[in-house]
Amino acid sequence: MPEEEFLGELSEKTTSVTIKEFTPDGVLISYNLQGTQKGQYDATHMETVDALFKPDGTYDFEARGIDQTDEGDMLIIKAKGTGRTISPTSVHAQGEAVYQTLSEKLKWLNTAKGRFEGTYNTSTGEFIAKVFALK
């Protein structure tokens, strides 16, 4: 079984929302978020999330993000996952991520798979997640 390691905490806030499409499957919404990643590396973080919210209160999403570390290293992140509404102002999300970086210090992430789970506050636009790496 692969070893799971705590990578850090992602804390971000929504900067813009675009309602992209209404479909029989649900509503497609695009979010832009900015914040920080703190843990094994500290970085500024920005990402775009495309989420399909379904009538049953669940959703599927894909995300593309960039982390810029305090040392100047960059990581490119692709993620996908699922979520569900857990209260009128709270949504739970979980998923997996893959990383790309040229950083010597963080190159081990190129072959790791990320896992995250967190909560999005729909009234404040804040998302906080724990991030893990499977080596």
**Kind and range of the H or E element at 73?**
none
Domain boundaries, the chain: 4-134
pLDDT, tens digit (0-9, with 9 covering 90-100), for 38-55: 999 999 999 999 999 999
How many Å apart are CA 19 and CA 118, to the nearest integer?
A: 22
What integer is the mean pLDDT of 105-109?
A: 96
Categorize the per-residue pLDDT at 119 as very low, low, confident or very high, splitting at 50, 70 and 90.
Answer: very high
Q: Compute and round to an integer the Cα radius of gyration of the chain.
A: 15
How much is the pLDDT for 39? 97
Q: Is 70 helix (H, G, I), strand (E, B) or coil?
A: coil
Cα 43 versus chain centre, distance:
14
How much is the pLDDT for 46? 99
What integer is the mean pLDDT of 10-37?
A: 98
User: Residue 116 corresponds to which tokens in the numbers above?
Assistant: 């995250």
Categorize the per-residue pLDDT at 1 as very low, low, confident or very high, splitting at 50, 70 and 90.
Answer: low
**What type of residue sits at position 81?**
G
Categorize the per-residue pLDDT at 80 as very low, low, confident or very high, splitting at 50, 70 and 90.
Answer: very high
4-134 carries CATH number 2.160.10.10 = no
DSSP state of 72: S
Q: Please report the sign of the dihedral spanned by the C-alpha atoms of residue 122, residue 123, residue 126, residue 129.
A: negative
Whole-prediction pTM: 0.93
User: Residue 43 corresponds to which tokens in the numbers above?
Assistant: 């970085």
How many Å apart are CA 17 and CA 7, to the nearest integer?
A: 28
The answer, yes or no, to whether residue 2 has pLDDT greater than 80, is no
**Given 3-state DSSP classes, what are the helix, strand and coil percentages for the chain, each rounded to the nearest 5?**
5, 75, 20
